[in-house]
Amino acid sequence: MDGSGSWDAIDWNQIEDPRPRRSGQAVKESMDDFLLEDEEVLAQGHGVVLLNNREAGTLSVTNFRLLFVSQAKKCVIELGTIPLMTIEKLNDDVKLQPLPHLSDKNRPRELLQVIGKDMRIIVFAFVPKTKQKNEVFDALRRYTKPANLWDLYAFSCDPSSIKNDSEPKRRLLREYFRLFRRSFEEVSLCNEWWRLTRVNSSYSLCSTYPSELIVPRSISDEDLFQASTFRSGKRLPVISWCDPGSGAVLARSSQPMVGLMMNFRNNADEKLVCALSSRTTDEKGSPRKLYIIDARPRANALANGAKGGGSESSSNYPRSEVLFLGIQNIHTMRDSLSRLRDYVDAHGSISSNGSPSAVSVVGDRRNRGSTWGGGNLNSMTSFSSTLGEWLNHIQNILVGASWIAAQISEEAASVLVHCSDGWDRTTQLVALACLLLDPYYRTFSGFQALVEKDWLAFGHPFAERMGVPTVAENGGSQYELLRQPSLGNLSSSPSRNTLGSSGPSSNSSVQSQTSNNSSPILLQWLDCISQLLRLYPSAFQFSSKFLVDFMDCVLSCRFGNFLCNSEREREQSGVTNSCRCMWSYLANLRASGGNFHEHYNPFYDPIKHNGALLPPAAALAPTLWPQFYLRWTCPIESQGGDLESQWQAMNKKYADAMKAKDIAEWRAKDIKLKLESMKQNLQREKRASSTALATAQSAQRENAAIKKAIESIGCTIKFSTSEDKDRTEVLSCSLRRGADGRAQQDENGDFSVSISAIEDSLVSDAPGDHFCESLCPFRTREGCRWPDAPCAQLGSQFVGLKANFDAFDRLSIQDCYFGPE
């Protein structure tokens, strides 16, 4: 797609001018709220418009993704945000289709088109006459094609923070024990038919196979080495799945090296293949039928024979039958998906050309409103051809895997599957057949075990198919691994040359090779599972949304699980201990939402489908997977007619209601606790009030006694509390001498007396405080005995008063105030 299209002129005056920026540091700090852990901004453009939805915002190139943040909403726009490794192609020469109403000077020129491996085509418009587009484009060209494996974002995390539950090899071994229905604690693994061998522990038997293999018990390790020389890439026939009940097996390999005339043979290979069809478990013990499935078209298999490869002859393998499925190679699949992506983008409700197809550009009023093709019948026919081509590939894989599962389940036959190299079409068929045969693989844990076994351990070249760097055989790093072929190996990949071959290659040639080897092999397999999910909605624990998120995680290269091309390469690069695990990430996502998370299939019924799924051929008519292919261009239509999506929407509302209920119950409980606390505080206040009342009554009695004692010396008492002296009561009175010689009260008297009653704790121990006691003639050894004994300074006795004698010394008190003795 050349990116041609048309749209109205963009009003750049309504967009924030990016040029008056003081420093890049301030800009990067403003993006911290949108960055992931260990994510760094490398280049930025401001006032950029995403033409798909005409959203203006900030476009940032980080070490992980192309990040687009809305200028108005201040949030990440998902459509304009794509991981760098998910980007398949960049185009900075986007041509516009001129329209009469659009003047040439108003037409935006600074355009950048980004094509993704996830069916996304997005176009960004930059502010004219700035260098922003060049800065963003240069950063994208550099970081979307990293030179080394360790330049990927997956290696940017701190290795000490990696917490992997177990090694992939240990998980594979656990799956082997499950297939044998044996306890994982047993030392050896074998039964009457098969055994587990560790002959490939150093990868000397086959560098792209796992270190542990299941093989027929009658075959020795020496036979395995001899048989491997007869298969492309030494990928000899080994068992991928077995049924301990019937003895049937599902095996996989690469093509045999029979040559053009099909006259080359290998005794060890024939012995190994025949051992796969062990005798049945019935009373007669009759020989088991063996089907050899060649996934390629017959013509392609014959063409490979001219280069040393080919297919088996049933005459060389007793009780066998050879069948061809006609599945096309990786290049055909890549081109088919590219055509489908272009058409979906051009005729979706959200298009990269800025104009939805729901309105015809030509102006034919009779055909307006047609979603597909913009009302053009020829366009509709073109879409049918494009869609039919892709769905035909999906149907071929579905039919082939269903047929394989039916032979193993109903006939107890053994099946050997291969294509050319044994890691693309073979993996698709074997993994899908396992999913149909074994209900365990239709759960979350089983899906992980299946992917780790047939896709990762058996060497599907993820690095080549996704166009990312990997490690070389010697431990170094290069953009494309050059694998060590076996003698006479026929490789479908132009990069499969012998290690150490002379002649350096340029960057352009390396990237060209990577582009030629990329293919949506994993996507096709997930598409097939989505078709089965549509046919059997209660057979799978996971939902279609889980498959979409799983594919996005693989394409993003954010995790280390799907890096490199084989188990051996992942060990060499140390991705297990250096990168985060995708399975843990997905498990944490599900745990965050509980059983209502969108990854769970709400219709899952393990009891209803506890056996093999054997769909009839008439039901294997696939439809376009809307959740994946239409999510960017037709977001509403991609979810509208799906029962699972409707249930998820209802489930979300229910979850929100339950959350509100929990919040209300928590608040009610909190209010109840507060009421209990207030009740306890009230009881404590009540007890404190009673204590204070008793103290006040006691003080009142004491004050009455003091008042009575002072009145006995002819004084009137007035109590007041000093504001500046805590815990001190001041007793003050005014006295005036009357005509009759008696003391009379008068507010303007001759003098006033202030008596302070101070607590014992405030009385100082200074010697001056005991002055009266040292001069008192009535003092005894026991100390002052007043008021039980006379006082030298006071001619009377009164109870309960501690007088401030210094105050009395400063007063001129006449004897007549106390009266004659």
- Per the listing, tokens 């393990």 go with 606
Check residue 159 and give its pLDDT: 77
pLDDT value of residue 503: 36
**pLDDT recorded at residue 641:** 57
Residue 12: the pLDDT is: 47
> Does residue 489 have a pLDDT over 90?
no
More confident residue, 19 or 161: 161
Residue 305 annotated in ligand binding: yes
Q: In whole angstroms, give the CA distance from residue 817 to residue 434.
A: 121
Please tell me the least confidently modeled range out of 13-17, 156-160, 493-497, 752-756.
Answer: 493-497
Render the burial of 330-344: b for 16+ CB within 10 Å, e for the rest.
beebbebbebbbbbb
Structure tokens, 135: 């800065």
Highest average pLDDT, of 16-30, 222-236, 701-715, comes from: 222-236
With bands split at pLDDT 50, 70 and 90, how would you rate the model's confidence at 354? low
**Nearest residue to 565 (alpha-carbon basis) of 487, 723, 458, 643:** 458
The Cα 463–Cα 450 span in angstroms is: 19
Determine if residue 527 is labeled as part of a ligand binding site: no
The answer to whether the annotation marks 330 as part of a ligand binding site is yes
| pLDDT category of residue 117 using cuts at 50, 70 and 90 | very high
User: What are the residue ranges of helices labelled H in 557-615?
Assistant: 567-573, 575-578, 582-593
Beta strands in 401-543 (DSSP E): 414-418, 470-471, 477-478
Which pLDDT belongs to residue 536?
Answer: 94
Tokens representing residue 738 in the block: 């009357």
Would the annotation count 552 as a binding residue?
Answer: no
- On the question of pLDDT at 577 being above 90, the answer is no
Q: Is the pLDDT of residue 60 over 90?
A: yes
User: Does residue 284 register a pLDDT over 70?
Assistant: no
Say if residue 268 carries a ligand binding annotation.
no
* The domain defined by 33-145 carries CATH number 2.30.29.30: yes
> What pLDDT, on the 0 to 100 scale, is given for residue 282?
63
Per-residue pLDDT, 471: 84
In the block, which residue shows the tokens 């080994």?
238
Q: Which residue has the higher pLDDT, 314 or 788?
A: 314
What average pLDDT does this structure show over 173-196? 84
What residues does each domain of the chain span? 33-145, 168-331+406-470+516-640, 658-701
State residue 206's pLDDT score. Answer: 96
Does residue 388 carry a pLDDT above 70? yes
Q: What is the pLDDT of residue 447?
A: 97
Residues 708-721, mean pLDDT to the nearest whole number: 62
329 annotated as ligand-binding = yes
- Mean pLDDT of all residues in 734-748: 44
- CA–CA distance from 612 to each of 133, 181, 249, 594, 697 (Å)? 55, 17, 15, 28, 91
- Structure-token match 């088919």, residue found: 336
Report pLDDT for 777: 66
The encoded tokens of residue 742 equal 């008696």
- Is the per-residue pLDDT at 647 higher than 80? no
In this prediction, residue 731 carries a pLDDT of 47
3-state class (DSSP) for residue 806: helix
Q: What is the pLDDT of residue 716?
A: 58
Whether 15 shows a pLDDT value over 80: the answer reads no
Q: What is the pLDDT of residue 699?
A: 87
The rounded mean pLDDT for the chain is 78
Instruction: Give the whole-angstrom CA distance, residue 222 versus residue 226.
Output: 6
425 is annotated as contributing to ligand binding: yes
307 known ligand binder: yes
pLDDT the model gives residue 794: 55
Least confidently predicted of 42-56, 177-191, 643-657: 643-657
Confidence of residue 457 (pLDDT cuts 50, 70, 90): very high
b/e sequence 91-116, b meaning 16+ C-beta within 10 Å: bbebebeeeeeeeeeebbebbbbbbb
The more confident residue out of 14 and 128 is 128
Q: Residue 609 class from Cβ within 10 Å (0-12 exposed, 13-18 middle, 19+ buried)?
A: middle
User: What are the catalytic residues?
Assistant: 419
Q: Is the dihedral of CA 95, 99, 105, 107 positive or negative?
A: negative
Lowest mean pLDDT among 19-28, 273-282, 653-662, 787-796: 19-28
What confidence score (pLDDT) does residue 729 get? 45
Of 746, 683, 680, 340, nearest in space to 520 by CA: 340
When comparing pLDDT for 729 and 632, which is higher?
632
- pLDDT at residue 435 above 90? yes
Whether residue 212 contacts residue 167, with contact meaning beta carbons closer than 8 Å, is answered with no
Which residue has tokens 């604690």? 185
Share of the chain above pLDDT 90, in %: 52
- Token pair in block for residue 375: 């009302």
Mean pLDDT of 791-796: 54
Q: Is 763 helix (H, G, I), strand (E, B) or coil?
A: coil
497-515 pLDDT, tens digit each: 332 333 333 333 333 334 4
Alpha-carbon distances of 339 from 548, 671, 697, rounded to whole Å = 20, 63, 100
Specify which residues 471 forms β-bridges with. 477
772 labelled as ligand-binding? Answer: no
Q: Element (H or E) spanning 292, and its range? A: strand 290-294
Residue 80 annotated in ligand binding: no
Q: Does residue 156 register a pLDDT over 70?
A: yes
How high is the pLDDT of residue 373?
A: 37
pLDDT tens for residues 118-153? 999 999 999 888 889 999 999 999 999 998 999 999
Res. 806 pLDDT band, cuts 50 70 90 = low
Average pLDDT (678-700) is: 91
Of 344-353, 526-535, 604-613, which gets the smallest average pLDDT?
344-353
Instruction: Name which residue leads in pLDDT, 93 or 494.
Output: 93
pLDDT in tens, 775-788: 566 667 777 676 66
741 known member of a binding site: no
Rounded Cα gap, residues 304 and 255, in angstroms: 9
pLDDT of residue 92: 87
pLDDT value of position 800: 39
- This prediction's pTM: 0.74
Cis bond leading into 787, ω under 30°? yes
